[in-house]
Amino acid sequence: MDPLAGWWGLSHPVGIVAAMEASSLRFAAAARTLGEVARAAGLVVPSFRSPPRLAGVDRTMKRQSDSLGVESVTVAVRIKGRPWVSVLADMIDGVIVANSLSGPTAGAARTVMWAAVEIDVMRGAALHEGAGVPKQRTGSRSGQSVRRRGPQPAGQPQARVA
């Protein structure tokens, strides 16, 4: 048994738990991003869920109308055992289909949504680079404490850190 797993109260090694959570966390982050992009473009924002209730399919869509006639769309995507790019493509296509987009309008919407999820992927990679075990510093400052510069107001000269 992984000693850290017992310390955290987990039944599996920490690395395995992190791998299990990663796809569902990425799915949730992508759903939020696609929802923001669709909302900003004035499109219908579908809800996302996983997995689809229908066995053996990668993506399903369900349209429902409430008693007032307001339509809602649910896009269900299978995550498990699939490449992440395929999951993203199904989510993006779900937004396109939910809004009945076609032709150049659909192409432009796809481009915007792919760019948005790509930015999120890059942001997530930058956040996780420093996660986990701290890296050993090399060079002349390895034994000294290093002051970090915080965010600077826009249009202001950058503060120097010695």
Backbone angles phi, psi at 88, to 5 degrees: -60, -45
- Residue 18 is given by DSSP the state H
- For residue 54, tell me if it sits in a domain: yes
- For residue 117, tell me if it sits in a domain: yes
- For residue 141, tell me if it sits in a domain: no
Among 43, 27, 39, CA closest to 78:
27
| pLDDT on residue 94 | 96
| pTM, entire model | 0.64
- For residue 87, tell me if it sits in a domain: yes
- For residue 156, tell me if it sits in a domain: no
pLDDT, tens digit (0-9, with 9 covering 90-100), for 108-151: 999 999 999 998 777 765 655 555 444 444 555 544 544 555 55
- Residue 41 is given by DSSP the state T
Counting the structural domains of the chain, the total is 1
In 10 A of CB 153, how many CB atoms?
Answer: 6
In the chain, the percentage of residues whose pLDDT exceeds 90 is 48
Domain containing 90: what range? Answer: 23-124
pLDDT, tens digit (0-9, with 9 covering 90-100), for 29-64: 999 999 999 999 999 999 999 999 999 999 999 999
| pLDDT on residue 43 | 94
In the chain, the percentage of residues whose pLDDT exceeds 70 is 62
Average pLDDT, the chain: 77
Task: Let me know how long the chain is.
Answer: 162
Sheet with 71-77, strands from edge to edge, namely 47-49, 71-77, 59-65
**What do you get for the CA distance between the two ends of the chain, in Å?**
46
